[in-house]
Structure 1
Amino acid sequence: MKLGLVGYGFGGRIFHAPFIQAADGVEIGGVVARSADKIAQIAFDLPGVPVFASLSDLIADGSFDVVTITTPPATHTPLTLEAIEAGLHVVCDKPFAMNLRDAAQMADAAVKKGVLLNVFQNRRRDTDLVTLASLIDAGELGDIQRVHNRMDFDQIETLERGPDGGLLRDLGSHLVDQMIWLLGPVEFVDAQVNHLNFAEGRTDVDFVIHLRHVSGAHSYISATKANYLNAREIRVYGTKGAYVVNGTDVQAREAIDGKRPATSDNWGEEPQSAWGTLYGESGPRRIPSLRSDYSDYYTEFAKAIRDGTDGPVPARQSLRTVEVLDAARIAAASGQIVQLDSKLQQTDTPVDWRLL
């Protein structure tokens, strides 16, 4: 299938293009970009791939099946709706939308048009998370009581600044999605969100969120890009023991370093030094990290289009994440715990945005 990549910033160049190239059933047929430096980078990275000045120009070409939207967060809804109206299947990068109303409108439009809309939540495929999921599925931890999920980076220069950006929409989208995927729907949300003032406007730069899941489990997620700290940890407590793993996913590290999954024989393979530890009645033991590959997301998306199935991260699942992020902003501003009143967290039925 011929895919148009809309945007070629850090995300499009590092976390989309290389994994599309390594996927089965899909190829990059064009890129939307305007600035001279990005056009030059595309010519270097993707020789021979045509560049379009706008999504409208790419649509007018008439030869594309799929688009991936990797532009700034505030543009996701209008661009996604434009692509859907043109009959294209869409992968929308996180954050899916600025708010729940916009997200539901996009999901509703895709259902009515009969196209597939998925959200690029690649960090469901981080090696630490898929290894943890396998331990939970095998019953190694018993019933999960609480999870601490922390992602700190000394990278304030990578932050989308201004009220339309911020860390909550950036890393918060990943961390909330991971916890809902792992532990199920959320019932209550509490949060602390801290801000800094930049020339572009007031921007949230770190947060702590407490989620109480319908299952009875609790998750505590946190991230910062403002405290000169690099630290990644998942710590899990269950009725049979605990599991702790540290370290940024090897795929993210290698992608940023310029390595590519299509040319790597051991892509997604963590060194033993990055393995986690399972603590149980018989004592601690190291758990080999499972291999994972972000490229599988695009392989599965292309297959879902062919088979008429849901795809790896259907839009309706990401509505739950957007709802939690909206609630976190309210909780942080009010100092109160927010109960999620909608049925959205506990249903897979698409929500009519006009009712929100």
Structure 2
Amino acid sequence: MRIGLVGYGHGGRHFHAPLIASLPGATFAGVVTLSAERRRLLAAEHPGVPAFDSLAQLVAAGVDGLVISTPLQGREALVLEAIERGIPVVSDKPFASDATQAQALIDAAAARQVPLSVYMNRRWDSDFLTLRKLIEAGALGRVSRFESRVERYAPEAVGNTSGGGFLRDLGSHLVDQALLLFGPVTRVYAELQYAAQAPTCDYGFFLSLSHAGGVVSHVSGSCLQNCQGPRLRVSGSAGCYTVEGLDGQEQALVAGLSPHTEGERWGVEEHRRWGWFEQGEVRERVASERGDWLQFYRQWQAALQGQGPLPVAPADALATTRVLDAARLSWEQRRVVEMPVFTGPESI
């Protein structure tokens, strides 16, 4: 399977290229980038992988699937071009600037019968996989509160509009995880944070999501937080699961490592990074599941070969986008937004 990549910025270079290059049974067919510096990096990091001036040139060279990892503004046109050319396509997150745009992309793919998926790689984070296992086993009992946050101190990220603001960019992962675990949301309350130097691009957010099944999710993120809180704290009738710090796959990829270079060590969390189960006086370590972002590409590859569903269904990405739209409306109007219950990701 020949896979092409459009875009070699931070996302394309670190979160897609190393995984595509590590995928068994696949060929990294080329990258679309006009930047001389990014072409130099591509040649150094993936020798022999050609660079192209346009999506059309890459398609002409022969591809079985395309991954679009460009800034949100302008990404829609590239996804639509891939669809019009009949090429299965993965859109990076955030999927769209709003639900109307998301629905238009889904409709276009359906009309041409082109497989369309969205890169929600954090479904395969170590901590999230561990939490799913605990919930499925009933270890936490009936969950009442899901707290999920990603906080960093990265002032250089303030005002970065490539993802449409921190809420839409990072928030898409956290909302997707909440929907996947606990099903549709009926009420949304949001608070957004802005810096004086970037008054139109949020750098931080807090969302309270009321799920139809009764769970309340508190999801938050910031790129100006000096003292980070727990990555996850999940409270249930039989206990609480907490974990500090972010899954290590991002750090490894940025450092130049990959599933190809690390083999069986990839995604394995050192025991000091494992989470905790607590109930009353009981406090014990919970061994973390192995993180595996490559699984997204394995499932995509299998789906294109008719051997299973897409790793992330377009309907899931649409459900997430609707919640993010409601969050922005909540902040703008300073109120709780009531949500109609759409069919979204299936609860576990």
> Over residues 224-255 of structure 1, what are the superposed CA-to-partner deviations in whole Å (9 max), with x where a residue is unaligned?
01234444520011111111111111111211
CA apart distance, 1:60:
3.3
Out of 136-145 and 303-312, give the one that drifted further.
Answer: 303-312
Match for residue 85 of structure 1? Answer: 84
Question: Structure 2: how far apart are the matches of 1:42 and 1:269?
Answer: 27
Match for residue 353 of structure 1? Answer: none
**Which of 203, 206, 210 matches 1:205?**
203
Match for residue 136 of structure 2? Answer: 137
Confirm or deny: 8 A CA contact 2:163 2:169 kept in the other structure.
no
> Are residue 111 (structure 1) and residue 113 (structure 2) matched?
no
Question: Structure 1: how far apart are the matches of 2:316 and 2:303?
Answer: 16
> Are residue 149 (structure 1) and residue 171 (structure 2) matched?
no
Match for residue 6 of structure 2? Answer: 6
Q: How does 1:191-270 map to 2 (within 5 A)?
A: 191-198=190-197, 202-264=200-262, 265-270=264-269
Question: Structure 1: how far apart are the matches of 2:224 and 2:76?
Answer: 28
> Over residues 71-106 of structure 1, what are the superposed CA-to-partner deviations in whole Å (9 max), with x where a residue is unaligned?
001122111111011000011110000110111111
Check 1:285–1:342 CA distance in 2 against 1; reply closer, same or farther (3 A cut). closer
Match for residue 296 of structure 1? Answer: 295
Gaps of 5+ in 1: 349-356
CA apart distance, 1:168:
0.7
Check 1:86–1:155 CA distance in 2 against 1; reply closer, same or farther (3 A cut). same
Q: How does 1:27-66 map to 2 (within 5 A)?
A: 27-61=27-61, 63-66=62-65
Q: How does 1:7-22 map to 2 (within 5 A)?
A: 7-22=7-22
Count the aligned residue pairs. Answer: 346
Confirm or deny: 8 A CA contact 2:2 2:28 kept in the other structure.
yes
Question: Structure 2: how far apart are the matches of 1:157 and 1:3?
Answer: 32
CA apart distance, 1:33:
0.2
Secondary structure of the corresponding residue to residue 202 of structure 1: coil
RMSD of aligned Cα (Å):
1.9
Match for residue 323 of structure 1? Answer: 322
Match for residue 352 of structure 1? Answer: none
TM-score (norm 1): 0.92
Amino acid at match of 1:218: V
Amino acid at match of 1:288: A
Confirm or deny: 8 A CA contact 1:153 1:231 kept in the other structure.
no
TM-score (norm 2): 0.94
Secondary structure of the corresponding residue to residue 262 of structure 1: helix
Question: Structure 2: how far apart are the matches of 1:157 and 1:310?
Answer: 38
Check 1:299–1:273 CA distance in 2 against 1; reply closer, same or farther (3 A cut). same
Question: Structure 1: how far apart are the matches of 2:21 and 2:60?
Answer: 24
Secondary structure of the corresponding residue to residue 270 of structure 1: coil
Question: Structure 2: how far apart are the matches of 1:44 and 1:21?
Answer: 14
Question: Structure 2: how far apart are the matches of 1:151 and 1:181?
Answer: 18
Confirm or deny: 8 A CA contact 1:163 1:202 kept in the other structure.
no
Check 1:128–1:85 CA distance in 2 against 1; reply closer, same or farther (3 A cut). same
Question: Structure 2: how far apart are the matches of 1:207 and 1:87?
Answer: 37
Check 1:170–1:288 CA distance in 2 against 1; reply closer, same or farther (3 A cut). same
Gaps of 5+ in 2: none
Confirm or deny: 8 A CA contact 2:185 2:341 kept in the other structure.
no
CA apart distance, 1:197:
4.1
